[in-house]
């Protein structure tokens, strides 16, 4: 059982693919398999840390490629290998011990990235849109400068693609809300 959550707390949990069902249980929705798992309070901290696995893989790639000056494909292979191992551990050990819960289609939709952006406060969404838009423009300028001075950096291209995707999602959510 959990207390009633504020809309801000509900959106924060939705970014982790978690919603609170009618029985006041935390339910994690696996975005790939669309299965629901009941999680406890202690599992929330693990899930928060585990949600950073993509950033950790990107960090491993950036450090390997930029700081340690190893070939880009070795750094990318190391990052992808670490990501694959963490995903296997997550699916084979963490999710297997959690009880499965039936998830309705509208509950699974409520934890999607787009729904989280649409349910955001209009002013907060506008501020996020401006900040990510500026970050996208600034990183695009840095990519042009880096491409002009050196060979094209795959790291910057991947970061730019992420920024374009997320900024586009924010723009869609902003106009969908209006």
Give the model's pLDDT for residue 73: 80
- Rounded to 5 degrees, what angle do the CA atoms 102, 103, 109 make? 175
Tell me the pLDDT band of 43, cut-offs 50, 70 and 90: confident
Q: Provide the edge-to-edge strand list for the sheet that holds 18-20.
A: 18-20, 26-29, 36-39, 100-101
Judged on CB neighbours under 10 Å (0-12, 13-18, 19+), 36 is buried
Give the model's pLDDT for residue 8: 67
CA distance 57 to 79: 5
Give the model's pLDDT for residue 147: 63
Tell me the pLDDT band of 25, cut-offs 50, 70 and 90: confident
Residue 38 contacts residue 25 (beta carbons within 8 Å): yes
Residue 37 contacts residue 25 (beta carbons within 8 Å): no
Considering the chain, what percentage of its residues have pLDDT values greater than 70? 75
Mean pLDDT of the chain: 76
- The number of residues in the chain equals 178
The model carries a pTM of 0.63
CA distance 170 to 166: 6
Give the model's pLDDT for residue 5: 67
């Amino acid at each position: 059982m959990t207390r009633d959550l504020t809309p801000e707390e509900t959106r924060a949990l939705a970014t982790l693919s978690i919603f609170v069902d009618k029985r006041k249980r935390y339910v994690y929705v696996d975005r790939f398999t669309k299965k629901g798992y009941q999680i406890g309070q202690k599992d929330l901290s693990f899930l928060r840390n585990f949600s950073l696995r993509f950033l950790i893989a990107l960090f491993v790639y950036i450090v390997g490629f930029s700081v340690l000056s190893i070939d880009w494909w070795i750094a990318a292979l190391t990052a992808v290998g670490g990501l694959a191992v963490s995903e296997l551990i997550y699916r084979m050990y963490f999710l297997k011990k959690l009880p499965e819960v039936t998830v309705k289609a509208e509950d699974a939709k409520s934890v999607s990235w787009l729904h989280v952006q649409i349910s955001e406060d209009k002013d907060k969404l506008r501020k996020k849109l401006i900040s990510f838009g500026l970050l996208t423009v600034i990183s695009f300028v840095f990519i042009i400068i880096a491409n002009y001075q050196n060979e094209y950096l795959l790291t910057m291209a991947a970061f730019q693609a992420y920024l374009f995707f997320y900024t586009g999602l924010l723009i869609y959510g902003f106009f969908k809300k209006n």
